[in-house]
C-alpha cells in the first residue's frame, strides 16, 4: 500500500472528515462498530510547524507536551498518514464512534484516556488534518492496526509520526 488517500479508500477507509469539523459538529457520521482509523495530513509534502505546548488534555494530571526535538525526530517526511488507531475487538467494547470521540475530546483539551496519537495535538495545523475510518466485521482491529503499521514501516522505514508503539 502507498498510504495515500486513494489507497486507503480502496482498502475500505471512508469519512475523511476534517478534525475541525468533527470537533465542532461531533462524530455522528462515525459508525458504532469496531474498526481502525487513520489521521492524515493533506499537505504531506510541506514541513510541519510544532506548538511549544500541546493542546491535548492532561489525563491523570500528565501534560502531553513533548519537546519539539522529539516531534522532529518522529516526523516521517512526505507521509500522508500520521496516525493509525484501533477501536474495539473481541475483548474491547470500544467502537469507532467512541474511540474517535475520545481522541477528538483529548484534542479539545479534555482529560480523557486517549494518549495514543498525542503528538498530533502539537501540530499547528491539527484542525486541518482529517480522520478516516474502516469498520471491520470479522477481522480483529488490533491485527489490522498492526498489519497497517508494519506495512507503513516497510514503506517509510519508521512507524507513523504519532504512533509511539508497534
For residue 78, give the C-alpha cell. 512526505
DSSP 14-28: EEEEEHHHHHHH-ST
Give the SS3 label for residue 15: strand
Main-chain dihedrals φ then ψ at residue 130, nearest 5 degrees: -125, 155
How far is the C-alpha of 93 from the C-alpha of 90, rounded, in Å?
8
How many residues are listed for the chain in this entry? 166
Name the pTM for this structure.
Answer: 0.95
Based on its alpha-carbon atoms, the radius of gyration of the chain, rounded to whole angstroms, reads 15
Query: pLDDT by residue for the chain (166 residues), tens digit each?
Result: 999 999 999 999 999 999 999 999 888 899 999 999 999 999 888 899 999 999 999 888 899 999 999 999 999 999 999 999 999 988 888 999 999 999 999 999 998 877 788 999 999 999 999 999 999 999 999 999 999 999 999 999 999 999 998 8
Residue 92: which of 140, 60, 37 has the closest Cα? 140
**What residues does 132 pair with on adjacent strands?**
38
Residue 38: which of 150, 166, 160, 128 has the closest Cα? 160
* Contacting residues for 94 by C-beta, under 8 A, at least 6 apart: 34, 87, 88
Domain edges within the chain: 5-156
Amino acid at each position: 500500500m502507498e498510504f495515500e488517500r486513494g489507497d486507503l479508500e480502496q482498502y475500505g477507509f471512508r469519512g475523511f472528515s476534517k478534525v475541525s469539523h468533527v470537533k465542532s459538529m461531533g462524530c455522528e457520521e462515525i459508525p458504532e462498530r469496531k474498526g481502525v482509523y487513520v489521521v492524515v495530513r493533506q499537505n504531506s509534502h510541506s514541513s510541519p510547524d510544532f506548538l511549544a505546548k500541546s493542546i491535548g488534555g492532561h489525563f491523570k494530571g500528565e501534560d502531553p507536551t513533548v519537546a519539539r526535538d522529539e516531534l522532529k525526530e518522529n516526523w516521517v517526511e512526505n507521509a500522508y498518514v500520521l496516525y493509525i488507531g484501533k477501536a474495539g475487538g473481541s475483548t474491547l467494547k470500544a467502537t469507532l464512534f467512541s474511540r474517535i470521540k475520545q481522541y477528538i475530546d483529548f484534542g479539545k483539551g479534555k482529560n480523557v484516556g486517549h494518549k495514543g496519537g498525542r503528538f498530533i495535538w502539537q501540530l499547528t495545523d491539527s484542525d486541518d488534518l482529517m480522520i478516516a475510518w474502516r469498520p471491520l466485521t470479522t477481522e480483529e482491529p488490533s491485527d489490522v492496526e498492526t498489519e497497517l503499521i508494519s506495512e507503513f514501516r516497510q514503506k517509510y522505514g519508521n512507524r507513523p509520526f504519532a504512533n509511539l508503539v508497534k
